[in-house]
Amino acid sequence: MPLPRFDRLPAERRELILGVARRHFAEHGTEGASYNKIIEAAGVSKTAAYHYFDGREDLLVAVLDGVLERLLDALGPWVPARDEADFRSRFAAGSASLAAHLRDHPEDLALADAAIGRTPAGPWLDWFGALVTDGQRLGVIRTDVDHGLLVSVTAAVIQAADAWALARMTTEPLAEAADLPEGEASAQLWSLLHGLWRGAATAAATAAGEDPTNAR
């Protein structure tokens, strides 16, 4: 984390330094970015830099903490839903907001995996923990699988789905990208997770000879 002297800098100066560092880490990777080039681009002398950070890793942690904070701000706090329809609506709104943030902030997208993976247990998984707990309360999410496993898998699926949707927008020809109707990516994500969350109910319906699509 930054040293106390960094926190005493004006907010604009702190953001400039972190913004330059974020750009370098996003462009060159968390392992490849040069600390000396970062501080030079930010207009910080080597002497001053070591008054602000213990070193390169300290600066990287500060950048990744900022990325994670913005991702969580995009999601917004999970608010308990009234029923399954409200749960789905809240989930769709949160995932759409996160995808939009990543689309509009490519540096955060480039560093998202590193920011999330830096703290295996922390505020990121706490958000999904609240979502899974609420879904189980409503009967939307199965209870026969370990809660922590469901939380981790749900978070991983959403992260992968966001990367998939953004890749379509940035790498495929416009004509092909247009083949995915508006809202279809969100619908596919919900279908994927709903199958995961309700796997026990679907399996039971299949074993009973019922149409599994009718299983809640």
Extract the tokens encoding 160: 């992968």
Across 41-48, average pLDDT: 93
Over the stretch 180-208, which tens digit does the pLDDT of each residue have?
Answer: 444 666 778 888 898 999 875 444 443 44
Residue 2, SS3 per DSSP: coil
pLDDT band at residue 170 under the 50/70/90 scheme: low
Residue 173 pLDDT > 80 = no
Query: Angle at CA 80, nearest 5°, toward 78 and 81?
Result: 115
User: What pLDDT sits at residue 171?
Assistant: 60
Q: Which residue has the higher pLDDT, 152 or 95?
A: 152
The arithmetic mean of pLDDT across residues 204-215, rounded, is 45
- 211-to-43, 192, 201 alpha-carbon distances in Å: 65, 18, 11
| Per-residue confidence (pLDDT) for residue 209, from 0 to 100 | 47
DSSP at 211: -
Q: In terms of Cα–Cα distance, which of 185, 126, 196 is closest to 161?
A: 185
Q: What is residue 108's predicted lDDT score, i.e. its pLDDT? A: 94
Mean pLDDT value of segment 147-175: 76
Confidence of residue 76 (pLDDT cuts 50, 70, 90): very high
Amino acid at 145: V
Per DSSP, 168 falls in state H
Other residues' Cβ atoms within 10 Å of the Cβ of residue 36: 10
Q: What is the pTM of this model?
A: 0.81
